[in-house]
Chains A and B, each alone.
Chain A
Amino acid sequence: MASDQHNYSKTYFWNDQKTRAILYQIITAIAVAWLGYYLISNVQQNMERQSIASGFGFLQKEAAFEIGESLIEYSAADTYGRALLVGVFNTLKVAFVGMILTTILGTIIGVFTLSSNWLISKLGRMYVEVFQNIPVLLQLFFFYALFYETFPAPRQALNPITGVYITNRGIDFPVPAPHPAWSAMLWAFAAALVITWLVNRWSVKRQERSGQQFPMFWTGLAILVGLPAIVWALFGAPLAMDVPELKGFNFQGGRNISPEFSALLIGLVLYTASFIAQIVRAGIQSISHGQTEAAMSIGLKPGQVLKLIIFPQALRVIVPPLTSQLLNLTKNSSLAVAIGYPDFVQVAGTTINQTGQAVEGVALMMLVYLTFSLLTSAFMNWYNKKIKIVER
């Protein structure tokens, strides 16, 4: 029993687990900081010695190259900074639209795979297997080639509806000609959104209090459509359209959705949706079947069972992996460069080549994608917290 008589009162601080843990962390932090400093200063020194230009001064210089499509005003006379901004917006555009579409499509396919209808469930499973197992780059090449190989040249444009033209240069469609009414309608729509939200809150409260249901869907639709329509009528109901017209080589006027954007969007959406379908299926299957039976037995319809009982619980399982799939979509969008969509990576690549400032260019790329990813996951984490079951 000699071991029991050890004197525990006198321990050295390096024997204390807590102190040691903190010490290790400090040492690690110092080592990392030193390494970072060492690398950066070395890169700078070597670049100076090799007379490679450095710094971010190039952002102010004239870019002198054209970009295929842009959400903001841009010409070759603008700066590299603005060119890069065009790239950021183009990436955001495809990522934002892609995330929404892929979530919707993925959810539908996921529900399909669980359908009791044999055909629908088999089709859903087939979709998942096909799109999940073909590399996304090949899918992009395929859809892009499909666009420019199958659709005709502008002079033989397909014209399915008046004013809409489908060619190997994309889809040209009319848009309303500029008029003050449009911006007023946008404000009206925003106001309608707020009103709908308020009405919805009131209707939920009323239902909790009295059990009476309120036809929220139709009311909301009426407000959202009605308010802008009234504003439109007040402005004298402008009807002038900016219709695309064949002038010279291409269609002028209206709006154009390019084959590059379409191919990238379709490719990313279909590919990512196959993964989301699996996540949704797993999420729904994680809810015990007894819940469905219980819900049916109190008289809920199948749609209501899904909406009120299954989804709220399944979402807790679905959202975290869904977040990482949406991040994947954003990151995969950098494959745009292969099919000629001017996303951020492509613009940054051209910038690097013209200025020769690879270190700065790559740093900017990392910064932009990191910001996209962190913002997306911050939003999804917030949403995840919101839908978490409140434990009482």
Chain B
Amino acid sequence: MLKNFLVGCSLVLVTAGLACAENGDTLKAVKEKGYIQVGVNGDLFGFGKADQKGVWKGLDIDTARAVAAAVFGDLNDRLHFTPLTAKTRFTALQSKEIDLLTRNATRTLGRETSLGLDFVQVNYYDGQGFMVPKALGVKSAKELSGATVCVLPGTTTEQNAADFFRSNKMDWKTVTIESTAELSQAFYAGRCDVLTSDASQLAGLRASAPNPGDYMILPDIISKEPLAPAVRHGDNQWKDIVDFSVLAMINAEELGITSANVDEMLKSTNPEIQRFLGVSPGNGEALGLDEKFAYNIVKLVGNYGEVFERNVGVNTPLGIERGLNALWTNGGLMYSPPFK
């Protein structure tokens, strides 16, 4: 029976690219090979892109680094990245090509239920917006009737834009090009009046435009885009690990722990901090990790605030305000359940 199943599994793996995830499989496999294979964007400044020296940087990259820190306790070549397009990202996860997907993917009911994957804690609350040349003289998305709009295919973006124009009874035309680079080039050359995508992505594209000052992002946000890492459905332990790795960064910010003061905090008498940093044990064992996993995340990667400011914050070329991504105590949506 088991042999049959295994043969079937590997056959299908080869032929249909589907894999079989069992509880605990992923952590074991990852520990055995000594690294985590991560699916990332590869082309999105601030979220997932290699710099001139080939070093991967971005919010999604740091999320993956947090998971690696939790699993291995160090970051010595613990991450191998696979750049994926919007179209191929979920298939890569299903087919076991990658262990973890941190590629600005929107969590939706449809994806969660029909793609064989589980999303975890959101690492960036985004929304879809519009970028236009300033010369167009448009002040609001409601004035875009009759416009030609550049859209990336195979994303929720396509649907959101269609919903927006439909519900406002406006005419429009789409130009849908597969690669972000080609699409933005066509937009800068004037093939379309408007470029629509997630607001964070627009900020990144604008920063890399030939003349960033010539373009503006309209104030209208037409959708909710909770961007979250995803894992294969069926391996609950791995899902918990990834989930609480992201949450650990948020919790650290809530507790005021940063990569700079984390060693001092080990001496804290606050029982909450003691539990969080593994001074009083329990959390690590429950996840199947080292007791110091949260300490390692904060020490090696930082808390959520640090990661945000480093990659996309106001002092970066993207210049994005915390907004929805501030802690709940500051009017944002970032909130961590207790670590106990």
Chain B nearest CB from A85 CB (Å) reads 17
What class of interface size applies to chain A in its complex with B? Answer: 35 or more
Q: Chain B: which residue is nearest A77 at the CB level?
A: B166
Which B residues from 165 to 205 make CB contacts under 8 A with A?
165-166, 172-179, 182-183, 185-186, 189-191, 193
Q: Which of B21, B110, B173, B182 contacts A354 (CB 8 A)?
A: B110
Q: Is the CB of A53 within 8 A of B161?
A: no
Chain A nearest CB from B68 CB (Å) reads 25
Confirm or deny: A169 has a beta carbon within 8 angstroms of a beta carbon on chain B: yes
B146-180: CB near A (< 8 Å → 1, else 0) gives 11100001110011011101100000111111110
Confirm or deny: A353 has a beta carbon within 8 angstroms of a beta carbon on chain B: yes
| A260 CA / B191 CA spacing, docked (Å) | 10
Given the interface pairs A66-B162, A247-B146, A339-B182, the reply to whether A349 lies near B87 with Cβ below 8 Å is yes
Given the interface pairs A52-B116, A340-B176, the reply to whether A249 lies near B182 with Cβ below 8 Å is no
Chain B nearest CB from A258 CB (Å) reads 8
Confirm or deny: A267 has a beta carbon within 8 angstroms of a beta carbon on chain B: no
B interface residues, how many (CB within 8 angstroms): 55
Q: Which of B11, B91, B165, B232 contacts A39 (CB 8 A)?
A: B11
Q: Which of B86, B190, B191 contacts A353 (CB 8 A)?
A: B86
Given the interface pairs A50-B94, A248-B146, the reply to whether A350 lies near B154 with Cβ below 8 Å is yes
Q: Which of A45, A66, A252 contacts B174 (CB 8 A)?
A: A66
Confirm or deny: B111 has a beta carbon within 8 angstroms of a beta carbon on chain A: yes
Binds A, one of B12-20, B26-34, B213-221, B248-256: B12-20
Residues of A within 8 Å of B173, CB to CB, are: 66, 68, 250
Residues of B within 8 Å of A241, CB to CB, are: none
| A76 CA / B110 CA spacing, docked (Å) | 18
Q: Is the CB of A66 within 8 A of B172?
A: yes
Q: Is the CB of A50 within 8 A of B191?
A: no
Confirm or deny: B332 has a beta carbon within 8 angstroms of a beta carbon on chain A: no
Which A residues from 225 to 278 make CB contacts under 8 A with B?
247-250, 252, 259-260
Chain A nearest CB from B268 CB (Å) reads 43
Confirm or deny: B233 has a beta carbon within 8 angstroms of a beta carbon on chain A: yes
Q: Is the CB of B12 within 8 A of A338?
A: no
Which A residues from 41 to 76 make CB contacts under 8 A with B?
42-43, 45-47, 49-53, 64-68, 75-76
Residues of A within 8 Å of B114, CB to CB, are: 51-53, 355-357
Which of the listed residues B16, B86, B113, B145 has the most CB atoms from chain A within 10 Å of its own CB? B16
Residues of A within 8 Å of B90, CB to CB, are: 353, 356
Q: Is the CB of B18 within 8 A of A340?
A: no
Which A residues from 326 to 362 make CB contacts under 8 A with B?
337-340, 342, 346, 349-350, 352-359
| A39 CA / B193 CA spacing, docked (Å) | 48
Q: Is the CB of B91 within 8 A of A42?
A: no
Given the interface pairs A46-B12, A51-B233, A52-B116, the reply to whether A356 lies near B159 with Cβ below 8 Å is no
| A197 CA / B21 CA spacing, docked (Å) | 67
Q: Is the CB of A349 within 8 A of B153?
A: yes
Residues of B within 8 Å of A66, CB to CB, are: 158, 161-162, 165, 172-174
Q: Is the CB of A340 within 8 A of B177?
A: yes
| A76 CA / B165 CA spacing, docked (Å) | 10
Which A residues from 138 to 172 make CB contacts under 8 A with B?
141, 144-145, 148-149, 153, 168-169
Q: Is the CB of A68 within 8 A of B20?
A: no
Q: Is the CB of A337 within 8 A of B153?
A: yes
Q: Is the CB of B191 within 8 A of A169?
A: yes
Residues of B within 8 Å of A51, CB to CB, are: 113-114, 116, 233
Q: Chain B: which residue is nearest A339 at the CB level?
A: B177
| A65 CA / B172 CA spacing, docked (Å) | 12
Chain B nearest CB from A37 CB (Å) reads 12
Given the interface pairs A168-B191, A248-B146, A250-B147, the reply to whether A46 lies near B177 with Cβ below 8 Å is no
Residues of A within 8 Å of B162, CB to CB, are: 64-66, 76
Q: Is the CB of B166 within 8 A of A342?
A: no
Which of the listed residues A42, A259, A340 has the most CB atoms from chain B within 10 Å of its own CB? A340
Residues of A within 8 Å of B155, CB to CB, are: 353
Which B residues from 242 to 300 make CB contacts under 8 A with A?
none
Q: Is the CB of B233 within 8 A of A50?
A: yes
| A42 CA / B136 CA spacing, docked (Å) | 55
Confirm or deny: B331 has a beta carbon within 8 angstroms of a beta carbon on chain A: no
Given the interface pairs A169-B148, A349-B153, the reply to whether A65 lies near B158 with Cβ below 8 Å is yes
Confirm or deny: B115 has a beta carbon within 8 angstroms of a beta carbon on chain A: yes
Q: Is the CB of B186 within 8 A of A349?
A: no
| A149 CA / B190 CA spacing, docked (Å) | 8
Chain A nearest CB from B165 CB (Å) reads 8
Confirm or deny: A379 has a beta carbon within 8 angstroms of a beta carbon on chain B: no
Residues of B within 8 Å of A357, CB to CB, are: 114
Residues of B within 8 Å of A355, CB to CB, are: 110, 114
Q: Chain B: which residue is nearest A43 at the CB level?
A: B16
Chain A nearest CB from B128 CB (Å) reads 14
| A46 CA / B173 CA spacing, docked (Å) | 40
Q: Is the CB of B16 within 8 A of A46?
A: yes
Which of the listed residues A50, A169, A337 has the most CB atoms from chain B within 10 Å of its own CB? A50
Please name 15 pairs of A and B residues whose Cβ atoms are closer than 8 Å in the assembled complex, sorted by A: A38-B8, A49-B234, A66-B174, A77-B166, A148-B190, A153-B190, A250-B147, A338-B178, A338-B179, A346-B153, A354-B154, A354-B158, A355-B114, A356-B110, A356-B111
Top 4 closest pairs, chain A to chain B, by CB:
A353-B154, A50-B116, A53-B114, A340-B177
**A49-B20, A53-B113, A68-B175 known; 20 other A-B pairs, CB under 8 Å?**
A42-B12, A42-B16, A43-B15, A50-B18, A50-B116, A51-B113, A52-B116, A65-B162, A66-B165, A68-B173, A76-B163, A249-B136, A250-B173, A340-B186, A346-B153, A350-B176, A352-B87, A352-B154, A353-B90, A353-B154
> What residues make up the interface of B, taking CB atoms closer than 8 Å to A?
8-9, 11-12, 15-16, 18, 20-21, 86-87, 90-91, 94, 110-111, 113-116, 136, 144-148, 153-155, 158-159, 161-163, 165-166, 172-179, 182-183, 185-186, 189-191, 193, 232-234
> What residues make up the interface of A, taking CB atoms closer than 8 Å to B?
38-39, 42-43, 45-47, 49-53, 64-68, 75-77, 141, 144-145, 148-149, 153, 168-169, 247-250, 252, 259-260, 337-340, 342, 346, 349-350, 352-359
